[in-house]
Chain A
Amino acid sequence: MALLTIRNLTVRFATSTGSFTAVDGIDVTVDKGEVLAIVGESGSGKSVSMLAAMGLLPDTATVTADEMTFDGQDLLRMTPRQRRRIIGREITMIFQEPIASLNPSFTTGYQIEEVLRFNAGLSKRAARARALELFRQVGIPDPEEKLKSYPHQMSGGQCQRVMIAMAIATGPRLLIADEPTTALDVTIQKQILDLLMKLQEQTGMALILITHDMGVVAETADRVQVQYKGRKMEEADVLTLFEAPSHPYTRALLSALPENATGDRLPTVGSFLEPEVQP
């Protein structure tokens, strides 16, 4: 059974020059324990659609959908109070800039204990113990010391580990990772992806991975959804997508990878997409 179901999601932003449609009729489903990758370039609406599901968009955004349910509960019609019981507890999210995601004025320990006290209902003492346990689980070296460190005293990779620790603190059933490794070096990227996959396999939570990197998709996803300009181009299991991509845009993206270059020139997406993309 699907854990998260979104049907016909549209997100419009009011701008000074009129309304701009960032997401145009997108469907997203993710099953329990599944890893779904949403791939697209900038402007594809991949982040906006997930922010809409989390209710994190600014007031200038208008979100409409035929259906938006999490484990059978209607996210569209619930009160903010009911919603908060799900968002941040059952569904959590991590972002691209780990250092910017943390508050620079508080220690990382304080910030994760805050999550544990307010979202997991632990006492101060229990939160402290659990925070240490979580820091160990996500592989932060010297965890006792690091609980007392401020974000600027840690590297980008370590900050992302802290973010992951906070995101799994409440034992969520769905973790949404928005370009979690884009700002990191490749060797650190590998460690973070390995960690996310290990945690996913241990806890059985579902994982939605938003990325622009086909290599990351190949190494993590069960199922893949390709988006372009706010629309879904293709959806397939990961093997099918790489072996036999059906949409011209997906084929174009794959052949634009320098590692797949066959001749002297790289094929560009534009040469596949003329004149207009038809989803």
Chain B
Amino acid sequence: MSVVEGRNLIRDYYVPGSLTRAAKMVRAVKGISFSVDRGKTLAIVGESGSGKSTLARIIALIDPASGGELLIDGKPVDIGKARLTREMRSKVQMVFQNPYGSLNPRQKIGDVLMEPLLLNTDTPAAERRRRAEEMLAKVGLPPEVFNRYPHMFSGGQRQRIAIARALMLNPTLLVLDEPVSALDLSVQAQVLNLLADLQDEFNLAYVFISHDLSVVRYIADDVLVMNKGEAVEQGSREEVFADPRHPYTRELFAATPVTDIEAIRERVARRKALRAAMA
């Protein structure tokens, strides 16, 4: 059974008018369907304005959908109609793009990690502390960071903290919105490795939002390519990368810079010829 399933999800935004402009509705997500199984990763790829983050917020139960159906563990959830239960909140967690903005600067790391338990469970204090310390170890941070503040950490370490916080409630689904795009290449590799390890350990389902095709190719099982609110291409990683069908997907692939030696050799030769012609 799928951990999460979307059926024809739609999201409209109301754009208020002004003196010179009439109010209008903008459809940011135009009917998208997908499903993700336990232990699997669905990557949602798109450029700015494609609606990928809007969709992420719907899946993460932050914003309600304007239409369509969202099922978590087979049960329909509509946060627009009924208050979200603690149980549902525990099942789905989110990690945001900017680790500098997503941690409260006045909250110690230990409190960051214990807060989800405090809000959503009846775990006693001592137990909350024990589980937070355990989680720190799992994401590769030493126990002494417990009493430190976010500003004392690098971007990669902060993203580890944000991931640890998301895992405190033993979720089955993690929505990751561009979790490595703010990080340096070397740190990006560490965080991607960590995510792969955690997925294996907890049998997590990931919805991984990204604009970076090389990261998607590395981490995804299934790929959904979005453009202007629509899913223009959907399939397994192998299918999409081997044989992209939609022109937009092809354009995206063609635009992504690659470090292919033959391509470099060709380019260098062309530049040499051009210079010789100019001289």
- Which residue from chain A places its CB closest to the CB of B253 in the assembled complex? A186
Cβ–Cβ contact B186 & A218, under 8 A: no
Cβ–Cβ contact A265 & B275, under 8 A: no
Cβ–Cβ contact B214 & A258, under 8 A: yes
Cβ–Cβ contact B261 & A186, under 8 A: no
A72–B275 Cα distance when bound, in Å, is: 23
| Count of CB-CB pairs between chains A and B under 8 Å | 105
- Which residue from chain B places its CB closest to the CB of A201 in the assembled complex? B274
Cβ–Cβ contact A218 & B184, under 8 A: no
Cβ–Cβ contact A42 & B275, under 8 A: no
Q: A215-B259, A267-B189 are in contact. List 16 more A-B contacts (CB 8 A).
A: A187-B252, A189-B255, A190-B255, A190-B257, A212-B184, A214-B185, A242-B259, A242-B261, A252-B186, A256-B188, A258-B189, A258-B214, A258-B218, A259-B214, A259-B218, A270-B186
Q: Does B251 contact A (CB under 8 A)?
A: yes
Please give the residue numbers on chain A whose beta carbons come within 8 Å of chain B beta carbons, in ascending order: 33, 41-42, 185-187, 189-190, 193, 201, 204, 212-219, 222, 237-239, 242-243, 252-254, 256-261, 264-270
Q: Does B267 contact A (CB under 8 A)?
A: yes
User: B183-200 interface mask toward A, CB cutoff 8 Å, 1 = contact, 0 = none?
Assistant: 011101110110010000
Cβ–Cβ contact A41 & B217, under 8 A: no
- Which residue from chain B places its CB closest to the CB of A267 in the assembled complex? B189
Q: Does B258 contact A (CB under 8 A)?
A: yes
Cβ–Cβ contact B268 & A258, under 8 A: no
Give 9 pairs: A residue, B residue, CB < 8 Å, sorted on A.
Answer: A185-B211, A187-B47, A190-B254, A204-B278, A217-B259, A218-B260, A238-B268, A259-B214, A269-B186
Which residues on the B side are within 8 Å of A193 (C-beta)?
Answer: 257
Which residues on the B side are within 8 Å of A256 (C-beta)?
Answer: 185-186, 188-189
Which residues on the A side are within 8 Å of B252 (C-beta)?
Answer: 186-187
A267–B218 Cα distance when bound, in Å, is: 13
Shortest beta-carbon contacts, A-B, top 9: A215-B257, A269-B186, A258-B218, A41-B184, A185-B47, A190-B255, A266-B189, A259-B214, A256-B189
Which residues on the A side are within 8 Å of B190 (C-beta)?
Answer: 268, 270
Interface centre among B189, B265, B267 (most CB of A within 10 A): B189
Within 8 A of A (CB), among B235-260: 251-252, 254-260
Which residues on the A side are within 8 Å of B271 (C-beta)?
Answer: 222
Cβ–Cβ contact A216 & B257, under 8 A: yes
A215–B259 Cα distance when bound, in Å, is: 5
Q: Does B79 contact A (CB under 8 A)?
A: no
Which residues on the A side are within 8 Å of B256 (C-beta)?
Answer: 186, 215
Cβ–Cβ contact B193 & A187, under 8 A: no
- Which residue from chain A places its CB closest to the CB of B278 in the assembled complex? A204
Q: Does B263 contact A (CB under 8 A)?
A: yes
From residue B248, how far is it (CB to closest CB) to chain A in Å? 9
From residue B246, how far is it (CB to closest CB) to chain A in Å? 14
Which residues on the A side are within 8 Å of B145 (C-beta)?
Answer: none
Which residues on the A side are within 8 Å of B259 (C-beta)?
Answer: 214-215, 217-218, 242, 254, 257, 259-260
Which residues on the A side are within 8 Å of B212 (C-beta)?
Answer: 258
Cβ–Cβ contact B215 & A219, under 8 A: no
A237–B147 Cα distance when bound, in Å, is: 48
A269–B265 Cα distance when bound, in Å, is: 26
Cβ–Cβ contact A186 & B264, under 8 A: no
From residue B192, how far is it (CB to closest CB) to chain A in Å? 6
A126–B153 Cα distance when bound, in Å, is: 53
A258–B275 Cα distance when bound, in Å, is: 34
A219–B218 Cα distance when bound, in Å, is: 21
Which residues on the A side are within 8 Å of B211 (C-beta)?
Answer: 185-186
Cβ–Cβ contact A218 & B264, under 8 A: yes
A30–B264 Cα distance when bound, in Å, is: 20
Q: Does B48 contact A (CB under 8 A)?
A: yes
User: B208-228 interface mask toward A, CB cutoff 8 Å, 1 = contact, 0 = none?
Assistant: 000111110111000000000
- Which residue from chain B places its CB closest to the CB of A156 in the assembled complex? B48
- Which residue from chain A places its CB closest to the CB of B186 in the assembled complex? A269
Q: Which of B214, B261, B268, B275 contacts A33 (CB 8 A)?
A: B275
Cβ–Cβ contact A239 & B265, under 8 A: yes
From residue B76, how far is it (CB to closest CB) to chain A in Å? 34
A219–B274 Cα distance when bound, in Å, is: 16
